[in-house]
Structure 1
Amino acid sequence: MNQYDLIVIGSGPAGRRAAIQAAKLDKQVLVVERGRRVGGVSVHTGTIPSKTLRETALNLTGWRERGFYGRGYRVKQEISIDDLRRRLLITLDHEVDVLEHQFSRNRVHQIRGSAKFVDAKTIEIEKDDGEVLHAKGGSILLAVGTKPYRPDNIPFDGESIIDSDELLEIKKLPRSMVVIGAGVIGIEYATIFSALDTTVTVVEGRDTMLDFIDKEIVDDFSYQLRDRNMKLIFGQTIDSIEKEVSGKCRVTLANGRVLNAEMVLYAAGRSGATETLNLEAIGLVPDKRGRIKVDPETFQTDIPGIYAAGDIVGFPALASTSMEQGRIAARHAVNAPAREPPQYFPYGIYAVPEISTCGMSEEEVTQRGIPYECGIAHFRETSRGHIMGLDTGMLKMIFSLKTHRLLGVHIVGEGATELVHIGQAVLNLKGTVEYFVENTFNFPTLAEAYKIAGLDAWNRMGELEEEKAAE
């Protein structure tokens, strides 16, 4: 039986970062991956495929140029699913190659197979050829990720009624689509297919969507979606889904409304991929969605020596945060010092348009009773925005009236997930509105929006101070 300092089950963002971190500390590391190739959900069905699909759709449709040439402008008139898949396969091959090389040069051992617990120090691995192996670990990290939630009342068929994993295997682009679920995954795919000129209807059981995002940003985002004829139906659940003889899908809502579409994408949540791990052997009990509770500082579970990181531990379930969780967990698992990560991390939603946020929303600031002021810049106010043909997009910053410190930055529009990092740095360095007012930004750039929003807030704050002095 082989002995390792750390066994990592799963090779997604959390697993890969944990394995490499432990290997950098000269530890013996084993990664067990049951998929055909390393990379996990992030590389094969989640983060990388969806973002590649988005970029390909925007390029082939000429979406970014329509501000100049009109909504009817297209780079390629007839876009097929093969056009989208070609770029996807190239990207995935590259990602797998990079990861394989990282494991190889860091001397990380790999086994393809399905792992399950024998006890808290031992796992059994069944390889694809039926061979069974056993391995012991000083610590074990669960980074198995999640899979789409598939309720029994949804008649999935893999062709017309699908989940988000199956979306990448469709045979043709649908002319119409109903997306059930207005979470991050549902909204990303809904807006991508809308950009491909598919008629899209989104159905969400809650009265709102993306509740963790600043409401003003969500309102602007919703307006843009409706402006391009996407239908957003909130506060309604699904009564039934049927596939008709014609091949179309009939979706009946709880209020009796009927929606017809060529395809239905069910994207209402995900579940932890824990059912094959034999967690009962070590007394570890996941919640009803298969997620595992961990200590938020060390990522150790209730069982000593057993750690978990990534989507399996729940919110925020981002590839970026999963990587950092894996790194921190690995350091604790091998008894290496680990610093607490910075307070603020960015949240990116790769919809069309992008949304990215870091820090507190206006609603959170209000709930905490912090006196504040906001500064807003519209991308159309920047010269770069004019050059790019942007007539939408905005950047919002929130500042403390007392300390002038930046409390939150929220962006919707082109390049939001790149732009947010300027605000993230200022947040974590406890910067103030003066930073944006006094610093020079390259011209013309979209980053100039920070200057405009900073000046907007500065002027409002100055007026309030003048009023206070006059009193």
Structure 2
Amino acid sequence: MKEYDLIVIGSGPAGFSAAMRALDFGLKICIVEGAHLGGAGIMNGALTSKTMYELSMDYAVAARTDRGYRSGSLSVDFEMVIKTVIHAAKEKQYQMLSQIETFSEEKSSSGSLCLKKGWAKFVDPYTITVTGHDATETLKAKNFVIATGAKPRKAPGLEIDHERIINSDDLLSLKKFPERMLIIGSGIIGCEIATIFSNFKQTEVHLLDRANRVLPYEDDDVSQFVSKNLEDNGVIIHHTAHLRTINKYPDHLEVILDYDAGNSKVIEVDVALVAIGRVANTEKLGLSNIGVQATERGTIEIADHCVLRDGNNICHIYAAGDISGHTQLYSVAEFQGRLAAEQIADTPSYPLDYSHMSTLMFFKPELASVGLNEKQLREKKIAHKVAYYSNKLVNRAIAMRSTNGFIKIIVSNEEQPRILGMRAGGPQASAYIVSVAHLINQGNSLQEVLKIFYPHPSLAEVFRNV
């Protein structure tokens, strides 16, 4: 029976970052992965969806006719788009495999990595079985990091057939652009997929929004900005609509929607895609064998990244990423994985402050956020002020011929205002959201921001004017 200093269950952003950080401390590490190397962060999540988004944005720019040039014969081949997306994912996977091989047990004298293909299940707190296609192997370790990620949430009463009624994991299995598509769910994932397919202009896109606006957790002006851009891009949004049923016919799907106002509507589509969030992958881990019970949401309770059992830490078993119950972001998973490895190595680390996370939403144009919004501040009864500035007034945006955007900064209502949050929509919003996150994290006043010399012309110059 092979023994390791650390077994990492799952090779997504949380698991792989934990393994690579543990390698820095000279540990002997085994990574167990049941599906794709890199997890959903590579093959069915962040990398593939963003690759497809970038391709769709390139196509949308090429299709424009207001910049002094016009494409004579612009066309798009869905099969080639998917091949390009898969090639990007495999490029990253082979980078990871190269790292694993470079630090294999046979080659590395200080710290090592190995990869086991199969599904892990705890036998006891120090032992797991790994069940692959052909055999089951038993492994032991001094420490574990559980990083099994999440899978698409199922819609109640709706069967996913993975052909015409699909989830986000099935996007790469489509054979062609659907002529008509219904996206069920108007959160970030649903709006991103709606953006991608409406950019290519090959699909009539319907978006089911159960609330009266998309991204309902955001401030109304931000939600309205996203909603208007989707509609301007050709997306048909069904606000305050609920899915009653989908009837299957040989050549189409018949969708019946019920609206809050009391009326109903029947639409015809070719593909329905469910995008109502993701749920943790914990049900097959054998958690009961180590005395751990998942929460109602399927997540694992943690404290300082250690798994909790009966209110007490199991200080050699850690959980990181989507299964931890915190925000399901690639960056959060990586952070948690690294910090778990540092705690295993007894290296001083720092607690994560989840209130200052920056988020990118890949719409047209992109949207970036960090810190609190007005809704959250009103709920917390925190006095604040808001400054709003349009990209129509920013020289760089004018030069780019892309003035559809804004920056919204929320500050505390005190003599030396502190930045509490920011929302930015428009080109390159992702470029300056990190600097604002840093300023929030440092507790700097708005006055400190105004002291900075911003290069001209740049979109970041907007900070000088808000």
Alignment coverage as a number of residue pairs? 447
Match of 1:469 in 2: none
Residue deviations 1:409-459 (CA, integer Å, cap 9, x gap): 111222222221121121112222223333221111111222222xxxxxx
Unaligned runs of 5+ in 1: 454-471
Distance (Å, rounded) in 1 between the aligned partners of 2:399 and 2:30: 51
Q: In the alignment, which residue of structure 2 is the partner of 1:16?
A: 16
39-48 or 371-380, larger mean C-alpha shift? 371-380
SS at match of 2:67: helix
Using the alignment, how far apart are the partners of 1:394 and 1:54 within structure 2?
21
Q: Secondary structure at the match of 2:237?
A: strand
1:298 to 290, 295, 305: 305
Overall identity of the aligned pairs, in %:
28
Specify the SS of the correspondent of 1:254: strand
Contact 1:62 1:74 in 2 (8 A): no
Q: Verify: 1:438 aligned to 2:438, yes or no.
A: no
- Superposed counterparts of 1:115-130, under 5 Å: 115-128=120-133, 130=134
Please give the TM-score of this superposition, normalised by the length of structure 1.
0.89
Summarize deviations over 1:326-364 as a string: whole Å, max 9, x none. Answer: 111222234332212355120121222222111111222
Spell out the pairing of 1:26-37 with structure 2 (5 A cutoff): 26-35=26-35, 37=36
| 2:148 paired residue number | 144
**2:324 and 2:73 mapped to 1: Cα distance?**
42
**Higher alpha-carbon deviation: 258-267 or 14-23:** 258-267
- Asked if structure 2 preserves the Cα contact closer than 8 Å seen for 1:270 and 1:289, the reply is no
TM-score (norm 2): 0.90
Written as runs of structure 1 = structure 2, the 5 A alignment for 1:73-112 is 77-106=74-103, 107-112=112-117
Contact (CA 8 Å) 2:162, 2:170: kept in 1 or not? yes
Counterpart of 2:107 in structure 1 is none
Task: Give the root-mean-square deviation of aligned CA atoms.
Answer: 2.2
| Shift, 1:222, TM fit | 1.5
Provide the residue aligned with 2:286 in structure 1.
Answer: 278
- After superposition, where does 1:339-378 map in structure 2 within 5 Å? 339-342=350-353, 344-378=356-390
**How has the CA–CA distance of structure 1 residues 221 and 5 changed in structure 2, closer, same or farther, with 3 Å as cutoff?**
same
Shift in Å, 1:64 = 8.6
SS of structure 2 residue aligned to 1:391: coil
Pick one of 188, 192, 201 that aligns with 1:188.
192
* Distance in 1, Cα, partners of 2:307 & 2:71: 51
* Paired residue secondary structure (1:284): coil
| Residue 174 of structure 1: aligned partner | 178
Alpha-carbon separation, structure 2, partners of 1:76 and 1:276: 51
Question: What is the distance in 1 between the residues matched to 2:453 and 2:64?
Answer: 28
Q: Against the structure 1 CA distance between its residues 5 and 267, is the aligned structure 2 distance closer, same or farther, given a 3 Å change threshold? A: same
Structure 1 447/62 Cα, relative in aligned 2: closer, same or farther at 3 Å? same
> What is the deviation of 1:164?
0.5
Provide Cα deviations, 1:225-246, integer angstroms capped at 9, x if missing partner: 223332222332211112223x
* 1:228 partnered with 2:240: no
Q: Which amino acid aligns with 2:164?
A: S
* Residue of structure 1 in register with 2:409 after alignment: 397
Distance of aligned partners of 1:210 and 1:313 in 2 relative to their CA distance in 1, 3 Å threshold: farther
Matched letter for residue 349 of structure 1: M
Distance 2:88 2:38 in 1: 12
Secondary structure of the residue aligned to 2:241 is: coil
Deviates more, 1:363-372 or 1:214-223: 363-372
Q: Deviations over 1:60-106 (max 9, x none)?
A: 23269566369xx6686221212312321221122112222333445
Question: 2:341 — aligned with what?
Answer: 330
Counterpart-to-counterpart distance in 2, 1:75 and 1:428 = 49
Q: 1:426 aligns with which of 439, 448, 455?
A: 439
Q: How far, CA to CA, are the matches of 1:175 and 1:239 in structure 2? A: 22
Secondary structure of 2:225's aligned partner = helix
Partners of 1:406 and 1:427 within 8 A in 2: yes
- Cα distance between partner residues in 2 of 1:143 and 1:227: 40
Evaluate the alpha carbon distance shift between residue 181 and residue 237 of structure 1 in structure 2; reply closer, same or farther with a 3 A threshold: same
2: CA distance, partners of 1:424 / 1:66: 37
Q: Equivalences for 1:37-56 in 2 at 5 Å?
A: 37-56=36-55
| Pairing 1:210–2:215 present | yes
Structure 1 range deviating more: 300-309 or 45-54 = 300-309
Q: What CA distance in whole angstroms lies between the structure 2 residues aligned with 1:366 and 1:64?
A: 43
Contact 1:4–1:138 at 8 Å: present in 2 too?
Answer: yes
Give the ranges of 4+ consecutive aligned residues of structure 1 lying more than 4 Å apart after TM superposition. Answer: 63-67, 73-76
From the superposition, tell whether residues 433 and 90 of structure 1 become closer, same or farther in structure 2 (CA, over 3 Å): same
For 1:45 and 1:356, how far apart are their aligned partners in 2? 22
Cα shift readout 1:154-210 (whole Å, capped 9, x = no counterpart): 243322221110011100011221100112211110111111122211113344432
Residues 213 and 41 of structure 1: is their aligned pair in 2 closer, same or farther, counting only changes over 3 Å?
A: same
Helix, strand or coil for the counterpart of 1:124? strand
In 1, are the aligned partners of 2:12 and 2:38 still within 8 Å (CA)?
Answer: yes
Decide whether the 8 Å contact of 1:14 with 1:327 is kept in 2. Answer: yes
Contact map agreement 1:376 1:452 (CA 8 A) in 2: no
Amino acid at match of 2:39: G
Corresponding position: 1:417 with 2:430: yes
* TM-aligned CA distance change 1:232 to 1:63, over 3 Å: farther
Q: Structure 1 residues 75, 327: CA separation in 2 closer, same or farther (over 3 Å shift)?
A: farther
Inter-partner Cα distance in structure 2 for 1:406 and 1:326: 29
Q: Could you tell me how far 1:152 is from its partner in structure 2?
A: 6.0
**Deviation at residue 367 of structure 1 after TM alignment:** 3.1
d(CA) in 1 for partners of 2:212, 2:292: 35
- Are the structure 2 counterparts of residues 213 and 64 from structure 1 closer, same or farther at C-alpha, using a change threshold of 3 Å? farther
